[in-house]
C-alpha cells in the first residue's frame, strides 16, 4: 500500500470515529430535549407528572402504556432526524457517508 493510500485510510478511519461521536451526541441530545418536552406536555395535559417508571405496578396501566408508546416513538423519530442532519453535515464536510451509513449494495 502506498503512503497516500495509507494516509487516506487513516483519515477515513478518523472520519468514521468522528461520525460515531457525532451520531452519539446528536442522538443523546435529541433524546434529552424530547424527553423534557414530552414531560412538560404530559404535565400540562394531565396535571400530573409523567410516570418515572412505567413498569411500577402502582402506575396506572393506561398511563404506563401511553407514556411508553409516546416517548418511545417520539424519541426514536427525533433521534433519527437528528442523526440524519448530522449525516448530511458529515457528507458536506468529508465528501462521503461514514462506513456505518454506506448504502446497502444487496
Alpha helix segments (H runs only) across 1-106: 3-46, 61-94
Q: Is 25 within a domain?
A: no
Q: Is 57 within a domain?
A: yes
Q: Domain total for the chain?
A: 1
Question: Can you tell me whether residue 55 is helix, strand or coil?
Answer: coil
Residue 65: domain span:
34-90
Give the pTM.
Answer: 0.69
pLDDT digits (tens, 9 = 90+) for 43-94: 999 999 999 999 999 999 999 999 999 999 998 899 888 888 888 888 888 8
What count of other Cβ atoms lies within 10 Å of the Cβ of residue 49? Answer: 9
pLDDT digits (tens, 9 = 90+) for 36-53: 999 999 999 999 999 999
Amino acid at each position: 500500500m502506498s503512503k497516500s493510500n495509507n494516509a487516506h485510510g487513516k483519515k477515513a478511519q478518523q472520519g468514521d470515529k468522528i461520525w460515531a461521536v457525532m451520531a452519539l451526541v446528536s442522538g443523546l441530545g435529541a433524546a434529552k430535549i424530547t424527553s423534557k418536552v414530552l414531560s412538560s406536555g404530559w404535565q400540562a395535559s394531565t396535571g400530573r407528572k409523567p410516570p418515572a417508571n412505567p413498569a411500577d405496578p402502582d402506575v396506572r396501566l393506561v398511563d404506563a402504556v401511553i407514556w411508553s408508546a409516546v416517548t418511545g416513538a417520539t424519541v426514536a423519530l427525533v433521534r433519527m432526524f437528528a442523526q440524519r442532519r448530522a449525516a448530511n453535515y458529515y457528507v458536506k464536510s468529508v465528501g462521503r457517508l461514514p462506513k456505518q451509513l454506506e448504502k446497502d449494495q444487496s
